[in-house]
Structure 1
């Protein structure tokens, strides 16, 4: 979700990292199943003819009137299914606000997090918006573990800031506060996220220092990792702060987990756009800055309790 390969060091509500609650009982749909959920149905995007930034979009998207969004819709409060099956959360609300500026509907389609960029490159999606950390490795298509180039990379339009957090079964912290405290212990997390990358890197350090490797159990989505931890299958979980905080607040009525330590590796979430599609990236940047300026952005973050992750200006490829 990582969700996202994210990093942060701020007390915010951020995938790869901020904070609400994670009691979404529905299982993640398979990557091959499109969610087909249009954000902003309640208010609806402005018609292209009247939307202030409609002419900034590529003509093909103007003609379709739809932006297809690849997203791992099991990462509350960033994006998840409510009890009626509707896609809700921080990202869908921001997308709906962008739709008003651009005169299009943002249609969320469900997929596992580690397949989203592949779907973007194959043009299954127009963008990927899923609490995804903007990093140089992703921009350049580099595998962070091997350092080898594995794809052409993507561009990011940054819209939020979040960090990575740890949580443990309530009352069983075992002194865990940092990654080094997990040497010789087991962590559960979502595959392909920043938490996953950091766990693998720290495990190598643990082994080098003869403290015992970190046993890493990764899952398709964060909810599966939480279920595993609830069942006693790990010592700690790691995810973006907003997601971890939401899980701590809501799972078992707040009785299952507790946050430990501080957020680490604060970094921006970005909307991923395929390389070469600079017109779309620029249109999204302009739309984001428009909703920041008119106050709609702040209202959305306040609704979900993640104001601390707000950015003052949308930028392209601001991650490091």
Structure 2
């Protein structure tokens, strides 16, 4: 009888252990249209700094990563609808977003910049952009900045579903410039064949009011446990040097500070 009870106990413990392991999953929401942070290969695989960072976080936390593709302009509502556990998609920390979600510790801080044809001499000011058409990606802090600072003051701001669509119209001459994340512009457009005749113009922009104080991972307000897991894992990959290795893989400058590219 005792032997039977021990066998039952062992089976139950094994079942609980399996259940615990099965539940150790972090589901990240991502919009794969922001290289070098996240994009897709021709084969459909997710790649980029955020993808590698998320996988490193999961490894550090002894968890399994799952990735859920979601349009950026609806990614916070999808998070709060529990379609995934966290947003890891180049999301800047802003006061408006802080009212909707909790943020992890900062994962990087990169300035925004205008991209236009080389020699255009534009700058990120109303005076310089009057009469121009500026493309931005929907739901981004760059869209909020452009609409708040330029729209209605002689500058036409056009929103697109994603940055890839903006870049296509910029390359074809339908818009005069795009206002976007500097690293995304450098890797995702300027280093491509389509971006060969374009470059950064004017000064880079760091504006906490519109552009936030760096990017972080967004989580639901009531998910304090997952927030602690992610922050602990982030500290671990910084301490081990894994973060620095990933940074060097994708960037030529320090993205953890306010350095300019």
* Structure 1 residue 307, shift from structure 2 partner: 4.1
| SS of aligned partner of 1:262 | strand
Please report how far the alpha carbon of residue 96 of structure 1 lies from its aligned counterpart in structure 2 after TM superposition: 1.0
Residue 14 of structure 2 aligns with which residue? none
| Runs of 5+ consecutive residues of structure 1 not aligned to the other structure | 1-59, 141-152, 312-320
Task: Report the alpha carbon displacement of residue 63 of structure 1 after superposing the two structures with TM.
Answer: 4.0
Match of 2:8 in 1: none
Work out whether 1:115 is the aligned partner of 2:86. no
What is the root-mean-square deviation in Å for CA atoms of aligned residues?
A: 2.0
Match of 1:164 in 2: 112
Counterpart in the other structure of 1:137: 96
Q: Does the CA contact (< 8 Å) of 2:114 and 2:201 recur in 1?
A: yes
- 1:184 deviates by 2.0
Q: Secondary structure of 1:309's match? A: coil
Flag the structure with higher helix content. Answer: 2
Q: Structure 2 residue aligned with 1:97, among 44, 48, 56? A: 56
**TM-score, length-normalised on structure 1?**
0.69
Looking at structure 2, the residues matched to 184 and 253 of structure 1 have their Cα atoms a distance apart, in angstroms, of 24
Runs of 5+ unmatched residues, structure 2: 1-18, 208-212
Question: Is residue 2:105 matched to residue 1:155?
Answer: no
TM-score where L is the length of structure 2: 0.84
Task: Determine if contact 1:242/1:306 at 8 Å carries over to the other structure.
Answer: no
- In 2, distance between residues paired with 1:296 and 1:255? 33
> Which protein, 1 or 2, shows the higher relative CO under an 8 Å CA cutoff with sep ≥ 6?
1
- For the pair shown, the structure with the greater C-alpha radius of gyration is 2
CA contact (8 A) 1:167 1:248 kept: no
Pick from 127, 133, 149 the counterpart of residue 202 of structure 1. 149
Any conservation in 2 of the 1:298–1:307 contact (CA below 8 Å)?
A: no
Report the count of equivalent residues.
233
C-alpha spacing 1:61/1:274, structure 2 compared with 1 (3 Å): farther
Taking the aligned partners of 1:178 and 1:119, their CA distance within structure 2 comes to 32
1:282 aligns with 2:242: no
Q: Does the 8 A contact of 2:36 with 2:188 survive in 1?
A: no
Q: 2:199 is paired with a residue of what secondary structure?
A: strand
Q: Return the alpha-carbon distance in structure 2 between the equivalents of residues 77 and 182 of structure 1.
A: 27
Matched, 1:74 2:37: no
Structure 2 Cα separation of the partners of residues 94 and 194 of structure 1: 22
